[in-house]
Amino acid sequence: MIKKFVVAIGLVAILFVAVGCGGGGGGLTEEEINQQISAAKSYLEKGDIENARKSYEDLLNSDSTNVEARFGRALCNLLLLMQEKPVTDVLASFGQPSFTTDIVFGENGYLADTINNENNEDMSRFPFNNITSCWDKMRFSDFKNKSRCIFAKVNSSYPLKSLASSLAELSSYIDAIIEDVEEAVVAEDASFTIPKGLYYGTEDTTVKRSDMLLLLSSLHINKFAINLANSWTFDLDLSTLFDANGVGLMTRNDYVQLLNKQFGIRQDNQFVEARTNLQLWAKYMDKALQAILAGASGGIVNYVEEAKSFYEDLDAVVKSIDAGLAGSTAIAQLTPLVNLDLDAFFKNPADRNAITSDPFVLEVKWGRESIKPVEAFWQEMIKSVCDYKIGTSGFKFLSDNTRAIGDLHDKLMSGLVRRKIGKYKMGAVDVTN
């Protein structure tokens, strides 16, 4: 789990960097601009994210339109997101130490450790490493039970609503990243090469404008999810779920009673913001796909002729979701037909308090208890957004041409599949080459 977390952090470094063609401005000469950019790149190379950010900010104080500085600062802010207060508060509530970028990057970071001491990697520096005693009590292959250990050290009286609120506080940090990336993509030829030294790779990685647009769409869809999490009631006390050894503290009947009190609309809901972020996700995803179809190359997600039908199918789906914000629209590339009405959903969102049936029921079969969703409740919850009938089977998504593409993932991520982050190769661990 920890290794996957580290690889994910490294992926962030690769996926969200961009090179730019900054112009002169603010009274700086081209030589002075290049010197500041070189200073920032030098800090990135060493894994000193905070000083790299400061260097980019210094340049932006003189030249606010410099593409390299804009995306460079966005990259640094993205990498530093894990050590901002909202995340630190969440980690502390889970009984975990704070995360800092020097845990992963720099000459003493984990990625350097994978190269220099690959057989003696120090995992104790990471959050959640202190729950290994709980893991050890679980069967090695029992991931479902091992996942309970995440809650082993949760602070007393820590409701899920507080977790959602901390995520909502992240929005202002994400907004700053979005603002910089939006400025960067104004340049049609915007791109940035990240130095391989940051992630102890074997080669630099270039991210093109189309990749930046994909980043913008992903930032907005994450904000959309945060908005929804702060729109319905989720009053679960996370400290009451499991003990320090991952043993459940509640009966299944307790869970049913608790779950059936959720999903009411909060007075301070964020449905207006959610709608805006979904619309912006569609806007930037469509722009990214159009850029890819126009022949994007040299970046992470590049145009590949064999995958053309996938790009076209996905763009049709995105457009249909965007159209659904204005009224009922058929979801593209989905059979049997399902109509989507996001306009109706946001104007009249589903409310548990307006539905007579409960969301869940405790079912006893052959002496075993299990929690089952109540179809009538969930059908009522989704009826304003789409005409899907729960239980309908035989759905097919995307065209036959797309479904016939072999090794689709490798084709789509051709700019990454052979890259290394430390000793880790994308998709696999490689300690021999």
- List, for residues 34-70, the tens digit of each pLDDT value: 999 999 999 999 999 999 999 999 999 999 989 999 9
246 CB contacts (<8 Å, ≥6 apart)? 134, 137, 138, 145, 146, 148, 149, 151, 152
- Three-class DSSP category at 256: helix
> Do you know the residue count of the chain?
433
313 located within any domain: no
419 and 376 in a common domain: no
* Residue 428 CB burial class (10 angstroms; 0-12, 13-18, ≥19): exposed
115 and 11 in a common domain: yes
Residues of the chain below pLDDT 70 = 1-27, 118-121, 137-144, 418, 426-433
- Tell how many helices (H) and how many strands (E) occur in the chain: 17, 11
Quick one: DSSP state of residue 379?
H
pLDDT at 349: 93
> By residue range, what is the domain housing residue 348?
342-401
Count the domains in the chain: 2
> DSSP labels for 92-127?
HHTT-PPP-GGGTSSTTSHHHHHHHSTTS---TTST
225 and 169 in a common domain: yes
Sequence letter at residue 131: I
Answer for the pair 71, 177: CB distance below 8 angstroms, yes or no: no
358 and 289 in a common domain: no
Residue 76 host element (H or E): helix 67-79
149 and 187 in a common domain: yes
- Three-class DSSP category at 240: helix
252 located within any domain: no
406 located within any domain: no
Phi/psi of residue 267, each to 5°? Answer: -65, -35
pLDDT at 119: 59
Answer for the pair 421, 14: CB distance below 8 angstroms, yes or no: yes
pLDDT at 174: 97
Q: Which residues pair with 360 in a beta bridge?
A: 373
pLDDT at 7: 40
150 and 220 in a common domain: yes
pLDDT at 430: 40
- Three-class DSSP category at 352: helix
279 and 425 in a common domain: yes
pLDDT at 5: 37
